[in-house]
Structure 1
Amino acid sequence: MALAERYHRAGGDESVYAIQQEAGPDAAPLLILRTTHTDADHSLFEKQRDSVVSYLTRFERLSTSEGYLMDVFGGDGSLLHRLDARS
């Protein structure tokens, strides 16, 4: 949650209440987002994805040179999106 708080202080989307970064396969990080939203609206996902990845690369020194994976879980705990953006 501390990562999400730093993201919010930088102007990030308040509906994202937790961001977790883990080692993924092939040197690509796995990003896990938890949001208050409960629907799988694709345009909302794209906006959150771009905002979070931009923040992490600019301020948290995330390397996306090998791409990344992202799972987004909704307010009810359901998986809303799964993205494989590996190069």
Structure 2
Amino acid sequence: MRKALSAFLLATTVLLSGCDTGTSPTGNPTAADGPPTTSASPVGNDSELAARYRRAGGDPDVYGIKHAKNRDGVLVLTVWSRKRSGYGGGFDDFDRTLTSFLTGTGVSLDQGYVLNVYGPDGAILHRYDTTVENNS
């Protein structure tokens, strides 16, 4: 009986050890509040890249930027923003500023890209596709 109780307590501890109901100290949404992507909220380099973007004059609401190719080789740009609604008529300026910054850091946009912008609640604010397949 004692072994069964010990095993139960150990299993319960392991299961509960990954749970976190707190919020981020920076005020950014936690993973539970993040966008429905593989990486639910920006971490490490994603946040650092966004900080460099803001310092370069980019949108002050952006707190995460990630760029990676998907399994089809398409460049996907993921941006996390504190905006709760879209950019309205200013999206073209936002896109131009973001892509100019990224090309300055060495990111190649020659083959086009898919840009996904997420709000703080994980809702997608914009999806913009410049790949040849979708713009021919």
Aligned-pair identity in percent equals 34
1:23-66 deviation digits (Å, cap 9, x = unpaired):
135533100011111112432322221111110012x1111110
The aligned residue for residue 50 of structure 2 is 4
The aligned residue for residue 86 of structure 1 is 131
User: Does 2:79 correspond to 1:33?
Assistant: yes
The aligned residue for residue 113 of structure 2 is 68
Q: Structure 2: how far apart are the matches of 1:26 and 1:40?
A: 28
Q: Write the letter of the residue equivalent to 1:84.
A: D
User: Does 2:127 correspond to 1:43?
Assistant: no
Shift of 1:74: 0.8
What is the aligned residue count?
86
Scaled by the length of structure 2, the TM-score of the pair is 0.58
**Which stretches of structure 1, 4 residues or more, deviate above 2 A after TM superposition?**
24-28, 44-47
- 8 Å contact 1:24–1:69 — kept in the other structure? no
Q: Write the letter of the residue equivalent to 2:61.
A: S
Scaled by the length of structure 1, the TM-score of the pair is 0.86
Unaligned runs of 5+ in 1: none
The alignment partner of 1:27 has SS state of coil
Q: Structure 1: how far apart are the matches of 2:114 and 2:107?
A: 12
User: Does 2:53 correspond to 1:22?
Assistant: no
| Higher Cα Rg, which structure | 2
- 8 Å contact 1:69–1:84 — kept in the other structure? yes
